[in-house]
Structure 1
Amino acid sequence: MEVYKFGGASVKDAEGVRNLANIIIERNQKNNLLIVISAMGKVTNKLEELTKAYLTGLNDVHQIFEDVKQFHFSIIGELFPDESNPVYNDVANSFVEIDWLLEEEPDDAADYIYDQIVSIGEIVSTKIAAAYLNETGCNVQWVDARNFIHTDNSYREAQVNWEKTEQEIQKKLNPVLEQCIAVTQGFIGSTSENFTTTLGRDGSDYSAAIFASCLNASSLTIWKDVPGVLNADPKWFDETERIPRLSYHDAIELAYYGATIIHPKTIKPIQNKNIPLYVRSFLDHKAEGTDITGADNHLPVPSFIFKVNQALISIFPKDFSFIIEENLSDIFSLFHKHKVKITTMLNSAISFSVSFDHDPKKLEALIADLSQHYKVKYNTGLELVTIRYYNQQTIDRVTVNKNILLEVKSRYTCQIVMRDKTTVE
């Protein structure tokens, strides 16, 4: 039993869908393969734009949705020249549900509406891919992930009911996979009331890991547009290296600190079952990529993770007393209240400093609450670099012409919050 996951970049156009089919055909697998697919290209972004327009009452709601429809039907037109193919009606019927929703006034909670609208991207992409795979001679069945991944009602960040999810997958999905290849969606699940939920932005990797774990798969392969896990993002570094092997532990560390190639929640479900994760390139599917396993493979080279648009706040007791456990508990509860996810932190005797992704509204509300009991200083427009397996040379490399505002070191990891020396403070 294997699980493959293809992201939006791999199916961004008709050629991408054909390439996906070629990968499946070349592997000549008739059954015991589950394919998890994301929304096509940047469709999720477009559907988020649609959701925002609907919630705020903008006039271009129907035009945005029409653009989404036309994008998909243009791909269908290239893949299926015969307009009598059932995929045309199948996709059109999927869109009708959103048409109905858009005709009503938005009287439900915003996060609930988000999940009902944005999830359509995965539904439609998988219907197109499944239809094309069948067209090429593969024996494929489309299955709805919402019938298997059961969650609570925490819309946009739904928590998985693991016991019920595993029961349903073992009972209902295993028999399907014994007969054919199955295609399903990433990112989505459903509540006990059968309302659609999503598992958090870019959560399709996590979906694939859930399926792999519950199926006791022999492996999970994530297909990307890069040759594997690199030691840095090519956007920030001219010279990057592929990491051939990673331990689960190092993969979790890199994902936690912001490496975008793997969703942070992906590793734990497969680590629990000792399922290997292979990161491969859909552009060169015969290349080696990166193997992530339980073996204790130290990274051969330092890894760099950059995050921009960071805010840094420093918190001081107003009476100049020490920062103690009671203060930290209070501070963390306020971060949780405002849904601010910390990227690094450092405490001293009389202060506590924290960096996080800068959201102006969240920052303003957080400072307002903190200022009731603490003195607060803050900076914005900062960068955070995390170096896994650092040395002084690697630190010097990333801090050229930078002012360092915060530096945190552990045995294997160094985090630096900094800004350009040319930036006016």
Structure 2
Amino acid sequence: MHPSDRPVRPIVVMKFGGTATGSVERMRAIGALVKEAHNDVRPVLIVSALAGVTRQLDRGLQAVVAARESSDAAVETALGVFLDDLTTRHHTQAAEVLSPESAERYTSVLSDHMDALRARMTDIADTGFTPALRDSVLATGEQLSVPMVTATLRDRGIAAHAGEATTLIRTDDTHGEANVDMAATEAEVTKWFDTLPPKSVPVVAGFIGASTHGATTTLGFEGSDYTAALIASFLNAASLTRFTDVDGVYTADPRTDAAAQRLDRLTMEQAFAWTESGRLGMHPKTLRPLAHRAVPMQVRSIDRPEAPGTQIVPEGASSIAFWPPAS
């Protein structure tokens, strides 16, 4: 078969939140899922920090700010405990998930990020809290998860390529919930994607971006969903799959309500209403780019990816290529 006659693999954006990246078993599951998917589609991964790490970073920042009112020794104690806990969490998971060679390389990356985080936290201790410094601290979680996911894929023989969200997602200076410059971001994302080898699997951090002045920004709570939707839209993806710890969207939380029922499908109008009320647990802007470019979405379980999940299909969507395939 001539190369030009080979079917083009549809682009499928896969978003893995903290519940998916945050345990050894689920990190391994990401590797298995992507390896299988790579035979049929072109995966593009958007990943969050390990479960609980963003909140851990926020608590560490608050502890340093509070210690600043006491003494330099109190600051150093708070900072030391915080950095040790964060380092141990990532080092332990990497050691269990990755090959020895990859784990060693990841340890070097982890050390560099911890040094940078210490410097930022020291700035806060010296000069005081600012929203810009907070964003730079909170971004560390994704900056640590992307290289771990990338290494997990490479250990499975996948040509994973880490993208830098702070060069791709362009925003204003509204720290904590930045507004995305759509035209600039689309230009950066498409230009970057076009330079990648066809067999590569891009891995990009959710939640974070950078302002026109180069300062790190964050997109707000559950911002990784928004990042995934933006990239799916800009790449005209065939679909977006959001992997969580439940197998779809339910009428209530199935972990606490035995009567909760899974929904096979939501209209975009229903999904908008549920997102506005917080029932979908997604960033409130997530659905806008999907609706704009008619990109369908599904919610699936990282633990049971074969389960049917829930589909959210906008009007006018065509050439739908869900992965895992819809049953």
Higher percent of residues as strand: 1
Residue 170 of structure 2: SS of its match in structure 1?
A: coil
Residue 4 of structure 1: SS of its match in structure 2?
A: strand
Q: Match for residue 206 of structure 1?
A: 226
CA contact (8 A) 1:169 1:214 kept: yes
Opposite residue 19 of structure 1, the aligned amino acid is A
Q: Match for residue 158 of structure 2?
A: 138
CA contact (8 A) 1:30 1:181 kept: no
Residue 178 of structure 2: SS of its match in structure 1?
A: coil
CA contact (8 A) 2:14 2:45 kept: yes
CA contact (8 A) 1:10 1:225 kept: yes
Query: How far off its partner does 1:110 sit?
Result: 2.6
Q: Match for residue 321 of structure 2?
A: none
Q: Match for residue 76 of structure 1?
A: 94
Q: Equivalent of 1:5, from 15, 29, 42?
A: 15
Q: Match for residue 303 of structure 1?
A: none
Pairwise mapping of residues 241-252 of structure 1 onto structure 2 (< 5 A)? 241-252=261-272
Q: Match for residue 81 of structure 2?
A: 63
The separation in 1 between residues aligned to 2:41 and 2:171, in whole angstroms, is 28
Residue 117 of structure 2 corresponds to residue 107 of structure 1: no
The separation in 1 between residues aligned to 2:147 and 2:296, in whole angstroms, is 28
Q: Match for residue 273 of structure 2?
A: 253
The separation in 1 between residues aligned to 2:151 and 2:40, in whole angstroms, is 16
Opposite residue 68 of structure 1, the aligned amino acid is L
The separation in 1 between residues aligned to 2:67 and 2:141, in whole angstroms, is 22
- List per-residue Cα deviations over 1:21-68 (Å, max 9, x = no partner): 111112234873210000001111100101111222353122112101
The separation in 2 between residues aligned to 1:56 and 1:164, in whole angstroms, is 38
Give me the CA root mean square deviation: 1.9
Q: Match for residue 187 of structure 1?
A: 207
CA contact (8 A) 2:26 2:303 kept: no
Q: Match for residue 107 of structure 2?
A: 88
Q: Match for residue 283 of structure 2?
A: 263
Residue 19 of structure 2 corresponds to residue 16 of structure 1: no
The separation in 2 between residues aligned to 1:153 and 1:106, in whole angstroms, is 23
Q: Equivalent of 1:98, from 117, 134, 151?
A: 117
The separation in 2 between residues aligned to 1:91 and 1:289, in whole angstroms, is 35
Opposite residue 28 of structure 1, the aligned amino acid is H
- List per-residue Cα deviations over 1:62-113 (Å, max 9, x = no partner): 2112101110000111123526732221222122111112233352653112
The separation in 1 between residues aligned to 2:274 and 2:181, in whole angstroms, is 26
Residue 176 of structure 1: SS of its match in structure 2?
A: coil
Change (3 A) 1:194 1:108: farther
Residue 171 of structure 2: SS of its match in structure 1?
A: coil
Query: How far off its partner does 1:12 sit?
Result: 1.2
Q: Match for residue 186 of structure 2?
A: 166
The separation in 1 between residues aligned to 2:126 and 2:230, in whole angstroms, is 32
CA contact (8 A) 2:132 2:175 kept: yes
Q: Match for residue 4 of structure 2?
A: none
> Could you say which structure has the larger radius of gyration?
1
CA contact (8 A) 1:174 1:215 kept: no
The separation in 2 between residues aligned to 1:106 and 1:212, in whole angstroms, is 41
Change (3 A) 1:284 1:31: closer
Q: Match for residue 335 of structure 1?
A: none
CA contact (8 A) 2:233 2:289 kept: yes
Q: Match for residue 233 of structure 1?
A: 253
CA contact (8 A) 1:31 1:178 kept: no
- List per-residue Cα deviations over 1:162-218 (Å, max 9, x = no partner): 010001111122332634101110100001121110000111101100111111111
The separation in 1 between residues aligned to 2:40 and 2:115, in whole angstroms, is 33
CA contact (8 A) 2:168 2:188 kept: yes
- List per-residue Cα deviations over 1:353-408 (Å, max 9, x = no partner): xxxxxxxxxxxxxxxxxxxxxxxxxxxxxxxxxxxxxxxxxxxxxxxxxxxxxxxx
Q: Equivalent of 1:47, from 39, 51, 57?
A: 57
The separation in 2 between residues aligned to 1:69 and 1:123, in whole angstroms, is 13
Q: Match for residue 322 of structure 2?
A: none
The separation in 2 between residues aligned to 1:279 and 1:260, in whole angstroms, is 10
**TM value normalised by structure 2:** 0.86
Higher percent of residues as helix: 2
The separation in 2 between residues aligned to 1:94 and 1:103, in whole angstroms, is 14
**TM value normalised by structure 1:** 0.67
Higher-RCO chain (CA-CA 8 Å, sequence separation at least 6): 2
Specify every segment of 5 or more residues in structure 2 that has no aligned partner in the other structure, as ranges.
Answer: 1-10, 69-73, 317-327
Residue 69 of structure 1: SS of its match in structure 2?
A: helix
